[in-house]
Amino acid sequence: TVGSGNYVSGKFASTVGYGNDITTSGERTHTFGMENTGNAKDSVIIGSGNSNHAEDSMIVGYGNTNLTGATGAHTFGRGNTVDGVDSTTLGNSNINDGKDSRVFGLNNSVTSQGIRSFAVGNNNSLNGQDSFLYGSGNTNNTKDSVIFGYDNAATFSAYFTGDESFLIGRSNTNYGLKTTFIGYDNTGSGDNSFVFGQYNLVEEFGDNSVIVGLDNENNGPSTHIFGSGNAGCGVENGAVFGHENIIRACCDSRQDGFRDADKSHIFGRGNYVFAYDTTTVGSGNKVSGQLSNVVGYGNRSYINGYRSHIFGIENDVYSGIDNTTLGSGNSVNADHSLTVGYGNTKTVSGSRSHTFGIENFGNASDSVIIGSGNYNYAADSMQVGYGNVNSGINSMTVGHRNHTQDDSDGSEVFGRENTNDSYRATTVGSGNHVSGKFASTVGYGNDITISGERTHVFGMENTGNAKNSVTIGSGNSNHAEDSMQVGYGNVNSGINSMTVGHGNLNQDDADGSEVFGRENTSDSYRATTVGSGNYVSGQFASTVGYGNDITTSGERAHTFGMENTGNSKQSMMVGSGNISNAENSAIFGYGNTTTETAERATIVGKHINLSIPDAFQFGPNNSGKVTILKNGYIGIGRTGTQPFESPTELLHLYDGNALFESKENGGEVRFYNNEEHPLFHNPSQDDIRFSISGANQRINGDLILSTGIGKKGQTLHARVFQPLTHHIDMSGINWGRAVTGPSATCDESKFVEYANIQNDITGTDGLVYKHKFGLHSAIDFCHPDNNPDYMPPEVGRKTLYAPRPQDEQGILSTEAVQPTGPIFARYTLYDVPEMDIFSSFLPSASLNSGAKYTIKNIGKGKTNIFVQEGDKIDLFFTGFMIESRFQSNTFVSNGVGWFVV
């Protein structure tokens, strides 16, 4: 004991100072200072007024007390009271009852629950083990928690525990397990939550939530809120980013039966979300439709707006599944619809519809609207433009203020202010009105009435009032079905008719008529009118030209020209000013007239009047004309005082002489009666009157007269024939064919080997023939030298053979049977060299050999016809072919077969 007034009762104790008291319990206690009390062994007291009742403890300071429970405690400071084992207290007025706890500061309190706790600061209260406090005024009633700051509280209740929490800041209050608070005046009771900011509130169901910001509130698990003034009410897995947003699951009764707003996300300001799994971006949006996405401002997704997608401003989706709305001021009630634009309205009927534009109204499913101010009431339709109204199912409307009415199913309208109320009609243009089914119009102001089914109008201000018709042009009016009009101002009432032009009129009786031109009138069945100012009333009639008139009597009448009048059926006029009153007549020219008696007559000329039936008249006027009757009588010249007098002879010259003249290098003049066998007849003064000049005049055989034989002579042939006589029982009459040269399929069995030139062969007429048209041998026929390209004209080409009787191969019978009756053959010569023209008329001759030849076609080159030895006719032709008809009654025989000569 060192000092004064000290009292030491403890063994091995020591004291230095004044008024210290070491009791008998203070074994090995050491006090340094004044008025200290040592009442526990192995303790140390330094200071004054300290009282130690804990073994192995230490006090340094003034007025500190280590209670009996503070074994191993270390207390430094003033006025501290310690009852915690192995605790450390540094500061003033602290209370430390926590085992192994540490307290640094002023007026801190650690209860016995504060085992292994740590408190630093002022006025802190720690009532949980393994906790840490740093700051002032903090309260911690939880274990394993940390608090930094001022006036923070980590506490617990009967339902909550704030263990393992982490608080940094001021006035934060936590009731939740494993939570983190950073900031000011935050309150939380949700486990595993994180709060950063000021005035935030995590309520009892806000487990696993995150709040960052100011004045936010959350009462739902796993919800994240970032921003200020946001509220999450009972929402699980929600997220809010922004200001003053509300995401709620605890809504009014209208939400009954719907899932909470779990899994919803908000980005923006002032948004209200009440629906499940939604995304909201923007401000002022209200979302009650589940699985919705809303982006923009002031949009509304109502409870029945399931899986809606809204982008824009103040759009409202009241109901409907899988809607998409983009724009502003749109109102949608339809399923599976798309709306893009401003002020569009989509009713509940508009499912699967699509609207693009401004202030459109969609009231039908599977429809499309593009534009503004359009109204659609029909399903499966499309509208493009402005102010259109559609009520036609499966229709399309493109343009401005078109109206497609209820009956216009399947119709298409393109243009401006058109009206369509017909089924499957097409309208293109402006101001058109279509009521006919399957009709179409292109243009302006056209009107197709309800009668105009399958009518098509192209142009301006046309009227279609009949089915299956076509109108092209302007101002046309059609009232007849199966008709067509092209032009301007035409009026048609004729079924199956066609009108092309200007101002034409097809009246009621003009069925099947065609009119082409200007201001024509047709009121007849199946008539044709071409031109202008024509009037046709005759059925099946036709007119081409100007001012022609075919009356009702002019059935099947045809006029071509100007101002003709057809007053008879089956007549024809070509020209102008003609008048036809005769059936089956024809007029060509100007100012001609047929009377009713001139049936089947024809006029060619000018100012001719004809009343003779079956007659033909032509000429420059009614006096100078030629008249031909059907019996062949010809009248030439004036007809005297009887203008319609008929000719009384084969050739009737009314006045004047006849002249027959053939000038140098001219052709032949022939006279035939077309009889087969000629009779020699000398012309008499009554038969024919003509003069002949030239050399070599002769009569030979059946040639009555022939003059000027030669290249440059004049020739006149006159022939007379007898009638042809045939016998039905005639046999052996066949036709041969030409032999013109080698053949690629040369078959020798098809021909009889017999020399071409037979000398001293006696024919049936008893004469000996040396030059015959017999058969080539097969060797000669097939020899390449006989190729038509190389043979001279006289060789090989004239060869022909006779056919076998009744044998399709056409070869003469090789049996020893003489043919009966004549043999006919035909041969053709090709590709002979060009020679001079002999005559412009082909000659016809009967030769004395018993054979007859007729040259039918002009060829080119020279050919020889051999009749008897030394008797030959040379014929000259230009062209490409000679074809001759051959008839013979002369035959030769070699004892095996018969051959034609």
- Which string of b and e fits 321-346 if b means at least 16 CB within 10 Å? bbbbbbbbbbbbbbbbbbbbbbbbbb
Assess contact for 706 and 715: CB atoms under 8 A: yes
pLDDT on residue 400: 92
Length of the chain as a residue count: 901
Residue ranges of alpha helices (H) inside 590-631 are none
- 651-682: per-residue pLDDT in tens? 666 665 555 454 444 444 444 434 333 333 33
Between 257 and 811, the more confident residue is: 257
Retrieve residue 885's tokens.
């008809």
For residue 717, the model assigns a pLDDT of 33
pLDDT at 461 over 70: yes
Cα 54 to chain centroid, rounded = 104
Return phi, psi of residue 782, to 5°: -90, 0
Mean pLDDT over each residue of the chain, to the nearest integer: 75
How big is the CA angle at 274 (ends 273 and 278), to the nearest 5 degrees?
A: 60
Give the model's pLDDT for residue 621: 84
- Please state whether beta strands 616-619 and 626-628 pair in parallel, antiparallel, or not at all (unpaired): antiparallel
Return the residue matching tokens 């040592």. 38
> pLDDT for 51-108, tens place per residue?
999 999 999 999 999 999 999 999 999 999 999 999 999 999 999 999 999 999 999 9
pLDDT(800) > 60: no
What is the number of other CB atoms lying within 10 angstroms of the CB of residue 649? Answer: 9
Contact between 477 and 491 (Cβ < 8 Å):
yes
Most confidently modeled range among 234-243, 315-324, 420-429, 560-569: 560-569
What Å distances lie between residue 193 and 168, 187, 249, 440, 541, CA to CA?
A: 14, 11, 19, 72, 103
What are the pLDDT digits (tens) for 181-217?
Answer: 899 998 888 888 888 999 988 887 778 888 899 998 8
At residue 645, the pLDDT reads 61
Is pLDDT of 723 > 50?
Answer: no
Rounded to an integer, the average pLDDT of 116-128 is 91
Rounded to whole angstroms, how far apart are CA atoms 207 and 237? 10
Whether the predicted pLDDT of 258 surpasses 50: yes
Give counts: helices (H), strands (E), the chain: 1, 104
In angstroms, rounded to a whole number, what is the distance separating the alpha carbons of residues 167 and 200?
Answer: 13
Using alpha carbons only, what angle is made at residue 619 by residues 616 and 621, rounded to the nearest 5 degrees?
Answer: 115
Mean pLDDT to the nearest integer, 478-492: 91
Entry pTM: 0.56
**pLDDT tens digits, 496-507:** 888 899 999 988
Q: Alpha-carbon Rg of the chain, whole angstroms?
A: 67
| Cβ(826)–Cβ(885) below 8 Å | yes
The pLDDT of residue 453 is 92
Q: What's the CA gap between 438 and 733, in Å, rounded?
A: 70
**Per-residue tokens: 47:** 């200071």
Query: Does the pLDDT at position 690 exceed 60?
Result: no
Q: Where are the beta strands (DSSP E) in 554-639?
A: 558-562, 565-566, 572-576, 579-580, 586-590, 593-594, 602-606, 609-610, 616-619, 626-628, 634-636
Buried b (16+ CB within 10 A) or exposed e, 477-486: bbbbbbbbbb
Return d(Cα 355, Cα 556) in angstroms, integer: 62
Say what the pLDDT of residue 625 is: 82
Do residues 734 and 821 make contact, with C-beta atoms less than 8 angstroms apart?
A: no
